[in-house]
Structure 1
Amino acid sequence: MSAPFAAQLLGWKKLKKNGNPVPNSADSSSTPSKALAIAILEHLGVEPEVILSGTPKDLGPALERAVQADLEKALPETDPSRTWQIDHKKVVADFAQDAHLGSLKKVVRKNPVLSADLGFDYLIRPDVTVGIELDSPSAESNPFLHAAVSCKWTIRSDRVQNIRHEFLQMIRHRRGRLPHLVTVTAEPMPSRIAAIARGTGEVDAVYHIAFAALKEAVEAVGSGQQKDDLAECVSQGRLRPYEELAPTLATW
């Protein structure tokens, strides 16, 4: 099992420097990363070294849009009792828990001292937001932010810090219940996944778009450390199949 869009995104690309094919989820400078990514493609049935012309070149935004489209379809089917709002790059100030940040932005803009001290880091735009319309007599009431999804095609140290920073700002500034804060990725190396899956609660869970293929790949070609890292993340519920994301959001 894998995300319904996994086969449309995961594939091969040509390296600019020599034209050699490499999996598009691999770190081309890392032999272990390439080995795991190749094994994942083999498990998914993507033919070796076939360059897929339909595979998006800009995979980060493509993953964001794929997750948005999938949740738009899956959540109303899983729980039709709620009115879902799935958006791309919507500012958190448009939701009930953070509506006060819109007023704060106006004050900060008018005050150079506050602007210098606070900046606008608190006006986060998650890659994908899951909102729920509230039963309210006011037609202008903001939807409740049920989940924020950070989509990272692969995991690097700078991307880990970006995820933690954005989610930490959301935790600090909210007024109301915390939304589900999750990451979706195609990263092939468990050691890099562990860098974001581990932590002190900024991220609830990491969902992998080819979870079953990842497990098979690590078992087949992963090092002892990669196997240990994967086992740790899975056993602690920090790394989960993407297929569980919509059911989790619908029952939470």
Structure 2
Amino acid sequence: MTKEVERAVQELDKYSARSGLDEEIRSKLNEHLNNIRNEIQMADERRRELLNLMGEESLLNLDITVSRELTNTVEHSAPLRHLVAGLSLKWTLRTDRAQDCRSQGAKMAALRRGRMPHFAAVTMEPRPAMLALLARGAGDVDCVYHLHLPALSDALDEYCSGTKRKPRLAIRDNFRRMRDQRRIRDYDELRSYLSTL
């Protein structure tokens, strides 16, 4: 639409220059054409600004975001915000809540410009099998921060101590594997990480 309007303005400009219009009328016409050009430019700038905002956290529906201010090389008076971390808060997990985190991570990866922001889920989910839905996922979530990982580890050790039942030992071993691979981390690590941003 904008290109068609620009073409029409140029045609009117050419017509005004070629025709034998009265000087006063031609001056008024040129004034109106300049106003139209300015409106087109302002609309284009607003559209560019909106396009630059696409992919921000509002589209992702994140619970907590951390961004850093960047210098705008195009428009120096309007600094840009770069999303460096996004967090999805889920006090407990169900399969649909886990899927929600995954879709947010996939959307963030698709909309990013440059480096992928750190994306994690924060939860106090006590069941290792539910934690595994995110922590052993396809990489849509960097890791899962647990609000009290040491207490959960101690509870699992106590639950599995003195037993030779394979299902219980498998739960403990899978949990330890996710913890040792840093797929599940303690909330204190998140606080430390965010303080460096």
* Structure ID, larger Rg: 2
User: Aligned pair 1:234/2:179, yes or no?
Assistant: yes
What's 1:99 paired with?
Answer: 52
- Structure 1 residue 136: Cα displacement: 4.4
2:97 is paired with a residue whose SS is helix
Q: Tell me, in whole angstroms, the C-alpha distance in 2 between the residues paired with 1:240 and 1:248.
A: 12
TM-score (norm 1): 0.50
1:133 is paired with a residue whose SS is strand
Equivalent residues of 1:154, 1:187 under 8 A apart = yes
1:176 is paired with a residue whose SS is coil
Equivalent residue for 2:137, pick from 196, 199, 208 = 199
Equivalent residues of 1:189, 1:226 under 8 A apart = no
- Structure 1 residue 249: Cα displacement: 3.6
TM superposition outliers: structure 1 runs of 4+ over 4 Å: none
Map Cα deviations across residues 191-233 of structure 1 (whole Å, 9 max, x no partner).
1101100122111111100111001100011522320221111
TM-score (norm 2): 0.63
- Structure 1 residue 250: Cα displacement: 4.4
- Structure 1 residue 164: Cα displacement: 0.5
Q: Tell me, in whole angstroms, the C-alpha distance in 1 between the residues paired with 2:80 and 2:136.
A: 32
- 1:233 is aligned with what amino acid? M
Q: Tell me, in whole angstroms, the C-alpha distance in 2 between the residues paired with 1:162 and 1:193.
A: 14
Map Cα deviations across residues 88-119 of structure 1 (whole Å, 9 max, x no partner).
xxxxxxxx9x83527xxxxxxxxxxxxxxxxx
Unaligned stretches of 5+ residues in structure 2: 1-48, 161-167
What's 2:70 paired with?
Answer: 134
Q: Tell me, in whole angstroms, the C-alpha distance in 2 between the residues paired with 1:99 and 1:188.
A: 40
Equivalent residue for 1:244, pick from 159, 172, 189 = 189
Whose relative contact order is higher, 1 or 2, with alpha carbons under 8 Å and at least 6 apart? 1
Q: Tell me, in whole angstroms, the C-alpha distance in 2 between the residues paired with 1:246 and 1:237.
A: 15
In the TM superposition, what are the counterparts of 1:44-193 in structure 2 within 5 Å? 99=52, 101=54, 123-136=59-72, 138-193=76-131
- 1:225 is aligned with what amino acid? A
- Structure 1 residue 139: Cα displacement: 3.3
Task: Report the structure, 1 or 2, having the larger helix content.
Answer: 2
Q: Tell me, in whole angstroms, the C-alpha distance in 1 between the residues paired with 2:196 and 2:63.
A: 22
- Structure 1 residue 172: Cα displacement: 0.9
How many residue pairs get aligned? The number is 137
1:196 is paired with a residue whose SS is helix
